[in-house]
Every structure is written in structure tokens, then in C-alpha cells.
Amino acid sequence: MGDIILTMKDIDKSFPGVHALDHVNFEVRKGEVHALMGENGAGKSTLMKVLTGIYTKDSGSIVYEGKEVEFHTTREAQDAGVVIVHQELNMLGHLTVAQNIFIGREFKKGIGIDDKKMNEEAAKLFEKLHIDIDPAETMSNLTVGKQQMCEIAKAISHEAKVIIFDEPSAALTEAEIEELFKIIRDLRKQQIGIVYISHRMDEIKVITDRVTVMRDGTYVGTLITKDCTKDDIINMMVGRVIYEDPKTQSSVPKNAPVVLKVENLNAGRMVQDVSFELHKGEILGFSGLMGAGRTETARAIFGADPKTSGNIYINGQKVEINSPQDAVKCGIGYLSEDRKRFGIVVQKSVAENSTMAALENFVSGLFINKKSENKIAQEYVESLATKTPSVDQLVVNLSGGNQQKVVIAKWLIRNCDILIFDEPTRGIDVGAKNEIYKLMNRLAEEGKSIIMISSEMTEILRMSDRIVVMCEGKKTGEIGIEEASQETIMNMATREI
């Protein structure tokens, strides 16, 4: 590690009802990967948004390359060489990949935009990053994982001296994560300072040099990664030890009735002849590599995407699901992997989002019963331990993990018997993950049935009673948790039929 390139000292920031940062200190050296960790709501992303000009600090100082600075816009920060890769995707879906990467700094040909040149430059970037993406493809056609890689490419396209990665691997496959680490190691050799925000402990040990931990908007401490353990970091984050033991046997009774039966489901190239059953009180894990067709299967069942053929039965009765409204009437709730697009309305309050799927229960005549709405929302804020000053708080002001809890509350208030959780803990810290795991187990014990799609093998093994594995749009295996292992699942996930 080289000299200090960035120092943030006594940074303070408040929002209405929330003291987000309380005199926080942080520094980055040239050629180091510095992890920034903490539970959701700890202030990590807020601190980085203060650095990059998204938020204005209330007090404190930022020294960059030996000079005190304060960036007022992200463009100012980028021009100075401080670039952030956001956890939430910021791409414009109707533009091409290349247009997104170079937006605001387009290559010109005369008075027009030179799309050919932008495609060529984007292709060079992707070649350097070992990413197989067509620069001319429309952004909305890409998977969440590939959109995230485009965000990373966009950041690297700036002449950056400090790059902040905010949960960069949350939507990436294992292979893509390895490529990301190669890129980061190459950037480190170039003496670029890297801030790495992640909740994945194994990644922190592999890729980082130092770890700074925050808790409830305050600075807790900084550790040298090679000299600390996973438990050391967790204890600093949450003040308690969290165990992540895999499940060894199913908790579902042998005679549990089938609540959902999917038979020969087809929906485009990514869902081909998929069949499975879900039992009452079961957590059915869906595993596979990115692009295996798991999300597409869930969306077809929920009516979000049209199916071309196949049958769906609920409690033995054949049902026709042609829209999400049909699915909700059938008692199915769907927690999308992309909560910002499909799960919440960020400019609405916690209460409004929580009751959205069951709004008819809170309408009296022409008016919404706000007292009743707030009461039920408050119950679920407490049940899920959602960090918010009140149920009137706008969801946009919550951390990613707490936004996820609001989405879960929405479907619990609707009282759906079948819940599809697509990457339910994506971008959520170990403490909040543990709370959601306990909640899912409690729901299963109460008789709810859960389909859980997850890219984290440890999560699949910890939570599932049974596991369905997919590859290239097809079901390639099904296994009880008693026989499941990472090796067995990976063999199925890479086996084409």
C-alpha cells in the first residue's frame, strides 16, 4: 500500500429524523482495497455519497490528494478521479449499453453522436474486463448481473484514482466475481485506491487489505484483513456472534399436502418444460448459475411474463394465471430480485408501500383509513426490525436492506400462502440476513410455503428443505437437503440436458 490518497475526518450528516453519520473517520491509501462494512443502515453508502457529491455533509473535512475538497455533484467527483459503482443500478433501460457507459461524455461526429465510436470503445472496455456483452444491445434486455458489469465498466472508463464498489458482486455469478477480482487486482497494481462495500465475508478475506467497520452511523474501528477473523468483523458489526450452519434435514412432514404444482411450464428460451411441486410449510430452494432461468420461471408462474404452455395447480385445482393480479388472487406473492423496479415505490412512505398489495382492506368509501394502515405497517416494522424513524418515512430514505423488509411486509400483510422470494437477502448484511432467515423459518412453521431463489450456495444449504437446480432454462436436478452438498448442486447446475 502506498501513501494516503483520501482522508475523511469527523463527517457528520443528518436527514429528517435520522442522524445518518456521527463524526465518521475513513481513509484510503493508493494501491489498497479497503473494505467498508456494517449492517444495513450503518451509514456506509451515505458516507460514500457524501464523498462523491450526492449528499452535502453537515460538518467534517475531506482531504483528497493533499487538498481539502468538497464535491457538489458526481460529475465534479468523477472529473477529479473519484468514481462510484452503485449498489442500485443507474442505467437507462431504453438506451444501448455503449450509450449508457458514455452518457454525458458522448463521442461526436460533426454535430451528431458517433454511436460507432462509442460501440468500439465499449467493446475495448469489455475485452479488458473479459465480459461478453454486445455494446449495441439495449440495456433493458440484459440480466441484472450483466447490467451490474456494465456499471463497473462505466466506472472504469473514467480516469479514476479512487473507485468505490458498493455491493458490486451482489448480482454476479461466481465466474463473474472471479473476473471482477482480477480487474480489482489489476487496478490495485496501478496504485488506484479502492473502497469495497460488501456483506459477503468470504470476499472480504480474499480481496481486501483493510476493513473499516461502521455501526449505527458511527466509526467502530479498522482492522488489517489478514490479521482478523470473520467473527472479529461480525462482532464489530453487530456486537454478537452469528452462526451460519447448513440445514441437515427437512422440517416438512412426509404427508404435507402439495400447495403448488407446476407441470411442463414453457416461457421462451429460459423456461423449458419445467415441472416441480411445492409442499405446505416447505422452503423450496431454486439454485443454478446466473442465466439458468430461475427468475424467468418465477415470473412466468406469477404472470409477470407470458407462458407459452404448461399447467399450474394450486391446492389440486388448475388455475389460469395471466397477470400478477391473477397470481395475487390465487394467494401468490412475489419478492423480485430488483426491488426498485418491481417491489417498491420509493417516493411513497413505509406505510403506503406496506399496504399496497392489500389496499382494498384499508379503504373506507372513497378514503384510505390511514390510522388502520399505519397500525398494521407499524406492527410489521417491529416484527421485521425495520430501521425507520416512523412509518411515514419515505422508502427512498431507507437503506437497501430495510427497503427489502418493506417489500416482505407488503406480501405478509396481503397474507399470501405461497411466497416466491427471488434473492431475498441480496445486498443485505449478515445481521439483517439472520433476521430474514428467522422470519422465513417462522413463516414456514406457520404453514406458508416458500420458493427461494438464491445465488448464494450457503444460503441455499442453510434454508432449503428441498432444492431444484436449473441450467440453461431447464430443470437439471432435484435433491433433498439431506443429500445436498455444494459439489452435488454445482454438478447439476452445470449439466445441460
State residue 260 phi and psi, 5-degree precision: -140, 125
In a domain, 40, yes or no: yes
Q: What is the spatial distance between Cα 296 and Cα 292, in angstroms, rounded to a whole number?
A: 9
> Grid coordinates representing 300?
412466468
In a domain, 54, yes or no: yes
Tell the residue number behind the cell numbers 484510503, with chain if given.
Answer: 28
> Which residue segment(s) compose the domain that 375 sits in?
258-493
The answer to whether residues 294 and 153 belong to one domain is no
> Within 13 A of 56's CA, how many CA atoms are on the CB side?
3
Q: Please compute the mean of the pLDDT values over residues 419-430 and round it to a whole number.
A: 83
Residue 343 has pLDDT above 80, yes or no: no
- pLDDT computed for residue 331 by the predictor: 94
- pLDDT computed for residue 478 by the predictor: 96
- Band (pLDDT 50/70/90 cuts) for residue 239 is low
Q: What is the mean pLDDT of the chain?
A: 88
The answer to whether residues 308 and 442 belong to one domain is yes
The answer to whether residues 227 and 278 belong to one domain is no
Of 18 and 74, the structure prediction assigns the larger pLDDT to 74
Domain boundary among 175, 203, 238: 238
Torsion sign over Cα 182, 187, 191, 195: negative
- pLDDT computed for residue 428 by the predictor: 72
- Band (pLDDT 50/70/90 cuts) for residue 87 is low
Q: What is the spatial distance between Cα 429 and Cα 40, in angstroms, rounded to a whole number?
A: 6
**CB within 8 Å of 20: residues ≥ 6 apart:** 13, 14, 43, 46, 217
In a domain, 206, yes or no: yes
Domain boundary among 238, 267, 298: 238
In a domain, 243, yes or no: no
Residue 305 maps to which CATH number? 3.40.50.300
Domain count, the chain: 2
**CB within 8 Å of 356: residues ≥ 6 apart:** 345, 348, 410
What Å distances lie between residue 129 and 118, 122, 146, 163, 209, CA to CA?
17, 11, 12, 15, 22
The answer to whether residues 337 and 370 belong to one domain is yes
In a domain, 150, yes or no: yes
The answer to whether residues 93 and 179 belong to one domain is yes
What Å distances lie between residue 496 and 43, 156, 196, 289, 473, CA to CA?
43, 35, 35, 12, 9
pLDDT in tens, 376-400: 999 999 988 888 999 999 998 887 7
The answer to whether residues 218 and 285 belong to one domain is no
- pLDDT computed for residue 152 by the predictor: 81
What Å distances lie between residue 231 and 26, 65, 210, 238, CA to CA?
22, 34, 15, 10
In a domain, 319, yes or no: yes
In what side-by-side order are the strands of the sheet with 309-314? 274-279, 258-266, 309-314, 317-319
- Band (pLDDT 50/70/90 cuts) for residue 40 is low
In a domain, 47, yes or no: yes
The answer to whether residues 148 and 85 belong to one domain is yes
Q: Residue 308 class from Cβ within 10 Å (0-12 exposed, 13-18 middle, 19+ buried)?
A: exposed
pLDDT in tens, 304-314: 999 999 999 99
Residue 335 has pLDDT above 60, yes or no: yes
Express as a percent the part of the chain with pLDDT over 90: 53
* Closest CA relative to residue 270, chosen from 246, 306, 319, 216: 306
Q: What is the spatial distance between Cα 400 and Cα 352, in angstroms, rounded to a whole number?
A: 17
Express as a percent the part of the chain with pLDDT over 70: 95
> Hey, which residues does 311 pair with through a beta bridge?
263
- pLDDT computed for residue 236 by the predictor: 85
Residue 50 has pLDDT above 70, yes or no: yes
Domain boundary among 203, 238, 273: 238
* Pairing of the two strands 474-480 and 466-471: antiparallel
- Band (pLDDT 50/70/90 cuts) for residue 344 is confident
> Grid coordinates representing 125?
472496455
Residue 241 has pLDDT above 60, yes or no: no
Q: Residue 399 class from Cβ within 10 Å (0-12 exposed, 13-18 middle, 19+ buried)?
A: buried
The answer to whether residues 281 and 156 belong to one domain is no
Residue type, 74: T
Tell if the pTM clears 0.85, that is, is over it. no
The answer to whether residues 311 and 199 belong to one domain is no
Q: Please compute the mean of the pLDDT values over residues 91-97 and round it to a whole number.
A: 87
> Within 13 A of 454's CA, how many CA atoms are on the CB side?
25
pLDDT in tens, 346-363: 899 999 999 988 888 898
In a domain, 246, yes or no: no
Of 146 and 4, the structure prediction assigns the larger pLDDT to 4
Of 302 and 1, the structure prediction assigns the larger pLDDT to 302
- Band (pLDDT 50/70/90 cuts) for residue 242 is low
The answer to whether residues 80 and 115 belong to one domain is yes
The answer to whether residues 41 and 126 belong to one domain is yes
Residue 495 has pLDDT above 80, yes or no: no
- Band (pLDDT 50/70/90 cuts) for residue 301 is very high
- Band (pLDDT 50/70/90 cuts) for residue 88 is low
CB 172 within 8 A of CB 145: yes
Residue 73 has pLDDT above 60, yes or no: yes
The answer to whether residues 37 and 145 belong to one domain is yes
CB 294 within 8 A of CB 470: yes
- Band (pLDDT 50/70/90 cuts) for residue 1 is low
Q: What is the spatial distance between Cα 171 and Cα 423, in angstroms, rounded to a whole number?
A: 9
